[in-house]
Amino acid sequence: MVEGRQSLEALLYLGKAEESLAAAAADVDAKRYNAAAARSYFACFQAAVAALLAEGVLPLAAPRGWTHQFVRGRFEGVLLNARKVYGVRMRGLLHRVAELRRDADYGTHAVTERAARRAVGEARGLVEAVAQRLR
């Protein structure tokens, strides 16, 4: 793991991820399942950025280089497959939650309570795994 500025930035992104996760959980409790799906994805995305920063995996044009494609690809390709930093249960997580977020934001069908709760649970697992590694 890296130290210094990247470590600080990783903790800042982790804080954002924890805030997004809390919002997602509150949205489920309030029966706002589409919003919960969207916030769950951003919790995952922000946690993945924190994980990448902590491991020194940076885009060439940071911070604007933190594209969704870059983050999903490097998190899975580098941190899961190559370095095995996080467990195999994280495989496909960012893609699954991103698909649900797309359905929530752009689809014609509402996200179900079950799907929203699953997304929040998966996001919680990722955020907690990254937090454990960073703290």
Q: What is the CATH number of the domain that holds 53?
A: 1.20.120.330
d(CA 62, CA 58): 7
- pLDDT the model gives residue 64: 76
pTM of the model: 0.95
d(CA 60, CA 53): 13
Domain limits for position 35? 5-134
pLDDT by residue for the chain (135 residues), tens only, comes to: 667 778 999 999 999 999 999 999 999 999 999 999 999 999 999 999 999 999 999 998 766 789 999 999 999 999 999 999 999 999 999 999 999 999 999 999 999 999 999 999 999 999 999 999 998
> Which DSSP category does 57 fall into?
-
Half-sphere exposure of 125 (CA within 13 A, CB side): 15
Alpha carbon distances (Å) from 88 to 35, 48, 117: 27, 15, 21
Number of independent structural domains in the chain: 1
